[in-house]
Amino acid sequence: MPKTVALTGNSACAQAMRQINPDVVAAYPITPQTTIVEEFSTFVAKGLVDTEYVTVESEHSAMSACVGASAAGSRVMTTTSSQGLALMWEVLYIASALRLPIVMHNVNRTLSGPINIHCDHQDSMGARDSGWIQIFCEDAQEAYDTTIQAIRIAEDNRVRLPVMICFDGFIISHAIDRLDLLDDEVVKKFVGDFEPLISLLDTEKPVTVGPFDGLYGYFFEFRRAQELATLGSLPVIAEVGKEFGEVSGRHYGLFEPYKLEDAELAVVVMGSTAGTAKFVVDQLRENGVAAGVLKIRSYRPFPAREIAEALSGVKAIAAMDRSLAPGAIGAPVFQEIRSALYDNSARVPVIDYIYGLGGRDVPPAHIEKVFSHLAQIAKSGKIDQVVNYLGLKE
């Protein structure tokens, strides 16, 4: 029987890790991720899991230990945030290039400076081209559910790539939320046994991992093969989300359309703000405004064709970016959305709203402001300002 509990997002993820029972966890604590590894290490100490817990001296070492353990044939998990993810950066590329199915939480926190420990998505954005699958979560339930699904996605033979589960620091990680936990046995059965493709410890079948492309020049072809695997994970993410729905009653897709079918004004958003946007949409609908939300779940790979189709009927779109890309035309979500829509036959006006940097609050009134701006654009057919800032004192 599923158990309804009140837990923080971090505790929920620690519970998911306990149920998955990975062979190796190598992690370094960093705010706001700390309580995941803190709780998980108590499970190790109490003997509730069989995990070899490697205490390392930095996140660079954490990811390096994960790469080694995964190449040795282990099911490997880790967690990080912000500066920790930044310190892992060069090893992230090794993990994806070696096609190692490591699963990691990145509890979203901004990057310094000035030093700030609160939420935005700039840490994940720094790793968006690292070859990792990136899935964003709206609440503690999704963070828990996605942790379990991520194992299946990463280890699928059509994928074999590392997966980063992204969820908002403090807003999801530290707030106590109501959620349902699956039975331990259900999770164990859902994730199944790990069958590694290679094992450095198997002396009967020796392999060479991470060879040098010195003089042969196969790098370009190899990278394209890696890109194909990333794109090929889209149907797997959808399949696993559907299968998870069958065991839990909670179905997941590549993205979540909310009242989008007949919507004229749409907001595209990732993370906890999707919940606020849905609340605002419900209120606007009561006043006869045809508003809708598209919540991105799989950001890497980006389901461009599917999203373009889902947004094809609307009159004006706002992409919500919890990050900045200095010197670019808008921030990453906007760039992705506008690019995905370019191939649609009808040109829909798209604007960018940069919001919530360094944990700046996003109350419903701010989202209402975005929808009023969209209504004005839909009416006039003209974009007054492409890149906008929400809740900024200027």
The answer for residues whose C-beta is within 8 angstroms of residue 364's C-beta and 6 or more apart is: 276, 279, 280, 283
Query: Which contiguous run of DSSP H or E holds residue 80?
Result: strand 76-80
Q: Which of 6, 176, 228, 392 binds another protein (CB under 8 A)?
A: 228
CB closer to another protein out of 195 and 246: 195
Q: Among residue numbers 135 through 164, which ones bind another protein (CB under 8 A)?
A: 160
- Least separation, in Å, of the C-beta of 220 and another protein? 9
CB closer to another protein out of 203 and 287: 203
Q: How far from 297 is each of 134, 186, 192, 255, 294, CA to CA, in Å?
A: 8, 24, 24, 5, 9
- Least separation, in Å, of the C-beta of 132 and another protein? 14
CB closer to another protein out of 196 and 332: 196
- Least separation, in Å, of the C-beta of 206 and another protein? 3
Asked if residue 72 binds another protein (CB under 8 A), the reply is no
Task: Fill in the per-residue mask, 180 to 219: x = in contact with another protein (CB under 8 A), - = not in contact.
Answer: -----------------xx------xxxxxxx-x--xxx-
- Residue 389 near residue 356, CB atoms below 8 Å: no
CB closer to another protein out of 216 and 249: 216
d(CA 119, CA 60): 22
- 């390392």: which residue's tokens? 56
Q: Among residue numbers 95 through 124, which ones bind another protein (CB under 8 A)?
A: 97-100
- Least separation, in Å, of the C-beta of 76 and another protein? 15
Q: Per DSSP, what are the bridge partners of residue 343?
A: none
How, if at all, do strands 103-108 and 265-269 pair? Answer: unpaired
- Least separation, in Å, of the C-beta of 119 and another protein? 33
State phi, psi for 58 to the nearest 5 degrees. -170, 170
Burial of 221 (0-12, 13-18, 19+ CB in 10 A): exposed
Residues that bind another protein (CB under 8 A): 97-100, 160, 197-198, 205-211, 213, 216-218, 221-222, 224-225, 228-229
